[in-house]
Structure 1
Amino acid sequence: MNNINAPFDSQSNFYRNPVGAVEVGTKVLFRIMLPRSLKCSNAELAIKFDNDSSWSYFHMFWSGEFGNDKELWECHYQVDKVGLYWNGFRLQTNEGIKYIVPTNPREKSAIAPSAGRAWQTTSYKKGFKTPSWPQGGVMYQIFPDRFNYSGNKKENIPDYRYIHEDWYETPTWQPNEHGEITNSDFFMGDLQGITEKLDYLEDLGVTIIYLNPISMAFSNHRYDTGDYSAVDPLLGSEEDFKALCDEAKKRGMYVINDGVFSHTGSDSIYFNRLGRFDTVGAYNSTESPYFKWYHFNQWPNSYNSWWGFYTLPEVNELDPSFNEYINGENGIVRKWQKCGNSGWRLDVADELPDGFLENIRKAVKAENPEGIVIGEVWEDASNKESYGGRRKFLLGDQLDSVMNYPFRAAILDFLRGADGCDVMDRIMTVVENYPKPVLNILMNSLSTHDTERAITVMAGEPLYDRDRAWQASHYLSPEQYEHGIRLMKIATGILYTLPGFPCVYYGDEAGMQGYKDPFNRACYPWGRENKELVQWHKELGKIRKSCNALKDGEISDAFSNGNLLSYVRFGDCSALFCAFNKGDNEIVMDIPPGYSTGTPLMDTKIRDGKLIIPACSSAFIQII
């Protein structure tokens, strides 16, 4: 919520114009408001470029009085480098040197005796563009083994793969006789099975399908790549993948793949630790063409591996031969684009070096300028640090978008008790820090294959550090489940109306529950869905299709506080007011100016000119 009485509010265009991330070369207006009683004789903008050691100070000029007891100072500053700038303000007053510092979501800022935290300005590459086709869409994430089985018999299934006969049973979670978790149980979900359900996805409003890895591998999650160039036989064939992409395009849908390029499987044509393949892997010989892809501490048994898992040897992404194999003209990235995909989601993008990310982007855009590159980054991707420095994910040469875990955390925290004002501030911080081309296509999820199911997080017992045996035996009670469905409707209402696009993890719309892997990766409950929640998702999908403001519109807070989270999405030709009441009591509120003649959606109630939001529910008003 904007506070015009604050000394400075970086999220208000009264104080800073333009608000948010800017193209390099942009002149930014900075304005501060001071009490006249402070008798400020000089005000300065303090600014520095990211990790520069020293600050620069620029004189601000007095620009007039504001009300009876305030005055304004302002200046312009042009950002001339791509990267992050940090700013604050220094004042000379009758009380000595003072500073304006950030405080909390309600106050925004305060005048303090010493400098504190600074405000961030993201400066991104001039002309940075992202694909337009994801805007206003709905993504659906599929864990291929668990979505739908076509019934096609598969031949030559290796002995080590355990095949479940009951689609609805719990995935195997116990370790084997050696105490190892092998993830070698399969339910036979396949690519043709996904193709068979495209009509269902279309009815749900889905426009983008994100597939977890489909390359040949030896675990059910397939993040232990065995051969980047081949579809895993249990999933089908390359022709099945092409058919899926072709049929999806007929329905206006796009398919993106999961790119796992920080490591391979030890059981792969490249490493070949178990000797399953005819190839000479890096484990087999120092003369292997793949030897330089890996870092051996002592060949062959001591090597760098992903988070210490010996089955996932890390690769040197900047090795020329690996880079050519993945990003070259005839490389893996472009091969699957030629087969019909529309881009990539990059696993552990923050563990991939800048040079490799830049090469992936070049490869994707060379094959298809509208191809998309999405990175897995769990934190604020605009100021993330790894590899000993500030990352450049969103500055124009690497990613188009990221998995937006900060929005997920904000939504789930709101529905577990966090104050609406604080949650809105967390949302607006991302909006402020990310370039607009990225904001328009942020990938926003409530659940993923790496997290607990959202309904379990919101309505179930907290997981804490409980083990798999506890997770396997704990489900929501009927009362918890009923409450969880109500919370899921609020959560998805928020998810579908924030900047970017919603990504529905398969089965969330059907009411699937579960703690961590493998309980969050059970099979889709065909015939046992929660029909109320499925229908809710369909209706939200219709709103996204009809409301242009959800494609690339702005967002502004509107009365968020306590149990209420509310905001406006607005564009050139439409707007949507959204309000969410997580509390146990009805909220009666004034309709925002301009919305009294709008169209109430999704059973939104208006009575005597007031907006009525029942306990634990949502409200939407659209104007066109």
Structure 2
Amino acid sequence: MFNSRNPACRYPTGAVADCLPVHFKIDMPRDLHCSAARLLVRSDSTGEVQTLEMFWCGMNGDNHEWWECHFAAQTPDLYFYHFEVTTWRGVLNLHKGFGGEGTVMGSDTQEWQLTVYDRSFHTPEWPVGGVMYQIFPDRFFASGSPKKEVLEDRRLHADWTEQPEWKPNKKGEVTNSDYFGGDLPGIAEKLDYLQSLGVTCLYLNPIFEAHANHRYNTANYEKIDPLLGTEEDFRTLCSEAEKRGIRLLLDGVFSHTGSDSIYFNREGRYDTAGAYNSQESPYYPWYAFRRWPDDYACWWNFQTLPEVTETNPAYNAYINGKGGIVRRWLEAGASGWRLDVADELPDAFLDALRTAVKTEKPDALVLGEVWEDASTKSAYGKRRRYLLGGQLDSVMNYPFREAVLGFVRGEDPAQMMEMILNLLENYPPQVIRLLMNHIGTHDTERALTVLAGEPAEEHDRPWQAEATLTEEQRRLGVQRLKLASLMQFTLPGIPCIYYGDEAGMEGYKDPFNRGTYPWGRENAELLAWYRQLGKLRAVLSCLKEGRFTPLNADDHTIAYVREDSVDAVLVALNAGENPRTLYLPDEWRTAQPVFGEAPDRNCGLTLPPCSGAALVLQKHPSPSGPFPLGKPETPEEAVESIKDKIIENIERNPKIKNELLDFLKNI
């Protein structure tokens, strides 16, 4: 009778701008003798329900008839709707069922959602179609610059390959005070490597002065942590990255500070009087003391993380005002902010932060950490309005992570596809194109471990610390990770690689998922695969904002198409243990395979167990000729390619060639 994802029933589908009319049509069987139909729309913010009479508008074949109406929301909001129809059986309620379809069966009273956003809502262009890469700065690469003078009470590991400390000290505390020395100059040294992966945006976990290796306990927002480098190092990193088409996204931790900070100063490290030291401190009004100085509000009851009152005028001005923290670091070279625990930041603070960001740099990105469907997220008893146009540009996409990893591990493909389609229906298109699609972060187990290891909840921390994948598990994990990453790189949004996933890193949650990057010990097969995925993102127009059309979701298999006016890609994935053959529409008969094999003459695509395929169609001839992406290199081919490049460079440079010949003669 109705399907919210079918343009014949609802046009346009998905989220819409305010004041844009939405056309609703329901298809009623004639044998119900429908005499009236109504659309009931409820505003989420006011609770007001509008009843719109629907009109008979013609036959759909001999046995069905159409009823229709229009609805236009005048203000950005969430709206929830269902239908009432008067029939010979009485008044029937048409509610949302699986897949967006309408149902009058059972007791399910779920309503459809219509997200209406501000028509002036715009998001940056530069991230669209790119690749993000998340770096935990202490663990990526150490430049070798001297560190002794900035260690103080920090312990620097002697061996880069050691495991991070995880055991409590004698007081039963986990201090996170062990470091490996990764720094900003080290990241700058590896920019060519990041460019080889197709990276266009670097997301850095916190880099400001703090007294734990994760740096989520900020000590001074105005200063780069000395173990990471200086402000000059940061500016150089931004400048060098930009030369390679890479922008930087900073982590903004604004819901709390560290107790060991110039603002609170509980540990007495700083000469300034913090809120803990004096009620006359300029920082005292930032915090909520129940009884000064030891009883105060803190983040998730961690005494080392005192919460700030974000709406305090002085704090808000310090972060969001002219010359404040947000604008200062954008001026220094950053291209946006990722907001830690965005659901714990008040609306007024988020409004002010967006204004500050867009005033300083209109194309800067504001990305929020939200673990659920951000369009319906409630926090502190209030529905949040992150995505309606005045706050976030987009969010970290944890629901997609659940869908991707769930599918690859054998969960119901139809349910996993439904999770994807629900978000695509609920989010504004300008949010969708910037979704941070990750399959692992510093807060989750490594993707390889999730896909092939034993569930973390079945084992204690000592077991997790010692656990590594067996050779058989690792082979399976690599296969599954290739499948998951192919899906990750081709869904709407922007894929984000958690540093080292492309190298085959494994590990359970913090700190086991925060090991050091294994330079020189990478999994060559995975690395070649990720580089090929990066090339795919770079050359396909449809992966920027192309339509998403599901083709199949059953029996361990998912298939879908991304398409725009320039090109199209069909992605087919088999997570099962047996081969599957999918029969494709005829137009894909001549498609070029970039992953997997080409369809046979009957347009059947055979997928081996735990494998995927990507087929590309070009709608218009490319000026550069055929689609510029070959099959992925094997590790052996990659080595030969490197050899060829070395020889080619030697031949081009006579001086190097002569020096090499002299060297060979001497030995």
Q: Same fold, TM exceeding 0.5?
A: yes
Shift of 1:607: 2.3
Per-residue Cα deviation, 1:103-159 (whole angstroms, up to 9, x for no partner): 223x83312476711000000001210000000000000000000011111132344
Identify which of 77, 80, 85 aligns with 2:74.
80
- For residue 255 of structure 1, give the secondary structure of its aligned residue in structure 2: strand
CA distance in 2, matches of 1:160, 1:115: 59
Give the structure 1 partner of residue 523 of structure 2.
530
Distance 1:78 1:610, change over 3 A: same
Give the structure 2 partner of residue 111 of structure 1.
104
Give the structure 2 partner of residue 620 of structure 1.
614
- For residue 607 of structure 1, give the secondary structure of its aligned residue in structure 2: coil
Shift of 1:418: 1.6
Identify which of 567, 586, 611 aligns with 2:605.
611
- For residue 239 of structure 1, give the secondary structure of its aligned residue in structure 2: helix
Shift of 1:51: 4.3
Shift of 1:56: 2.4
In the alignment, is residue 434 of structure 1 matched against residue 427 of structure 2?
yes
Identify which of 539, 545, 548 aligns with 1:546.
539
Distance 1:605 1:593, change over 3 A: closer
CA distance in 2, matches of 1:362, 1:113: 47
CA distance in 2, matches of 1:472, 1:454: 16
In the alignment, is residue 191 of structure 1 matched against residue 163 of structure 2?
no
- For residue 478 of structure 2, give the secondary structure of its aligned residue in structure 1: helix
In the alignment, is residue 301 of structure 1 matched against residue 294 of structure 2?
yes
CA distance in 2, matches of 1:270, 1:133: 36
Query: Which range is displaced more, 364-373 or 52-61?
Result: 52-61
Give the structure 1 partner of residue 147 of structure 2.
154
- For residue 519 of structure 1, give the secondary structure of its aligned residue in structure 2: coil
Q: Identity rate of aligned residues, in percent? A: 51
Give the structure 2 partner of residue 359 of structure 1.
352
Give the structure 2 partner of residue 506 of structure 1.
499
CA distance in 2, matches of 1:536, 1:140: 16
CA distance in 2, matches of 1:537, 1:69: 53
In the alignment, is residue 10 of structure 1 matched against residue 7 of structure 2?
no
CA distance in 1, matches of 2:463, 2:124: 44
One-letter code of the match for 1:87? Y
Per-residue Cα deviation, 1:448-497 (whole angstroms, up to 9, x for no partner): 00001111111110111633212102121111110000000110001101
Backbone CA RMSD of aligned residues: 1.3
* Residues 135 and 551 in structure 1, CA contact (< 8 A), matched pair in contact too: yes
Identify which of 33, 37, 47 aligns with 1:43.
37
- For residue 136 of structure 1, give the secondary structure of its aligned residue in structure 2: coil
One-letter code of the match for 1:185? D
Q: How does 1:404-415 map to 2 (within 5 A)?
A: 404-415=397-408
Structure 2 unmatched ranges of 5 or more = 619-667
Distance 1:20 1:131, change over 3 A: same
- For residue 517 of structure 2, give the secondary structure of its aligned residue in structure 1: coil
- For residue 220 of structure 2, give the secondary structure of its aligned residue in structure 1: strand
Q: How does 1:142-541 map to 2 (within 5 A)?
A: 142-464=135-457, 466-541=459-534
CA distance in 2, matches of 1:488, 1:71: 48
Structure 1 unmatched ranges of 5 or more = 1-6
CA distance in 2, matches of 1:104, 1:352: 34
Shift of 1:66: 2.0
In the alignment, is residue 129 of structure 1 matched against residue 137 of structure 2?
no
Point out 4+ residue stretches in structure 1 off by more than 6 angstroms. none
CA distance in 1, matches of 2:67, 2:549: 25
CA distance in 1, matches of 2:28, 2:593: 42
* Residues 569 and 577 in structure 1, CA contact (< 8 A), matched pair in contact too: yes
CA distance in 1, matches of 2:459, 2:285: 40
CA distance in 1, matches of 2:458, 2:149: 40
CA distance in 1, matches of 2:41, 2:534: 43
Query: Which range is displaced more, 167-176 or 466-475?
Result: 466-475
Higher relative contact order, structure no. (Cα contacts within 8 Å, ≥ 6 residues apart): 1
* Residues 120 and 433 in structure 1, CA contact (< 8 A), matched pair in contact too: yes
Give the structure 2 partner of residue 4 of structure 1.
none
Shift of 1:594: 2.3
Per-residue Cα deviation, 1:525-577 (whole angstroms, up to 9, x for no partner): 11111111111111011111111111111111112222111111111211111
CA distance in 2, matches of 1:27, 1:54: 19
Shift of 1:65: 2.2
Per-residue Cα deviation, 1:199-238 (whole angstroms, up to 9, x for no partner): 0000010000000000000000000000001011110111
Distance 1:158 1:195, change over 3 A: closer
Structure 1 length as normaliser, TM-score? 0.97
Per-residue Cα deviation, 1:384-433 (whole angstroms, up to 9, x for no partner): 01132110100111000100101001111111222222211110100000
One-letter code of the match for 2:516? C
* Residues 12 and 22 in structure 2, CA contact (< 8 A), matched pair in contact too: yes
In the alignment, is residue 67 of structure 1 matched against residue 94 of structure 2?
no
CA distance in 1, matches of 2:151, 2:248: 29
Shift of 1:37: 1.4
* Residues 262 and 314 in structure 1, CA contact (< 8 A), matched pair in contact too: yes
* Residues 98 and 114 in structure 1, CA contact (< 8 A), matched pair in contact too: no
One-letter code of the match for 2:92? K
CA distance in 1, matches of 2:260, 2:296: 14
CA distance in 1, matches of 2:493, 2:30: 42
- For residue 109 of structure 2, give the secondary structure of its aligned residue in structure 1: coil
CA distance in 2, matches of 1:467, 1:308: 23
In the alignment, is residue 19 of structure 1 matched against residue 13 of structure 2?
yes
Give the structure 1 partner of residue 96 of structure 2.
102
* Residues 410 and 576 in structure 2, CA contact (< 8 A), matched pair in contact too: no
CA distance in 2, matches of 1:475, 1:597: 44
Structure 2 length as normaliser, TM-score? 0.91
Give the structure 2 partner of residue 3 of structure 1.
none
Aligned length: 617
CA distance in 2, matches of 1:578, 1:74: 36
CA distance in 1, matches of 2:303, 2:532: 46
In the alignment, is residue 93 of structure 1 matched against residue 87 of structure 2?
yes
* Residues 605 and 613 in structure 1, CA contact (< 8 A), matched pair in contact too: no
CA distance in 2, matches of 1:35, 1:119: 21
- For residue 576 of structure 1, give the secondary structure of its aligned residue in structure 2: strand
Query: Which range is displaced more, 468-477 or 123-132?
Result: 468-477
* Residues 595 and 615 in structure 2, CA contact (< 8 A), matched pair in contact too: no
One-letter code of the match for 2:387? L
- For residue 560 of structure 1, give the secondary structure of its aligned residue in structure 2: strand
CA distance in 1, matches of 2:445, 2:101: 33
One-letter code of the match for 1:10? S
Query: Which range is displaced more, 50-59 or 173-182?
Result: 50-59
Shift of 1:255: 0.5
Identify which of 52, 55, 62 aligns with 2:49.
55
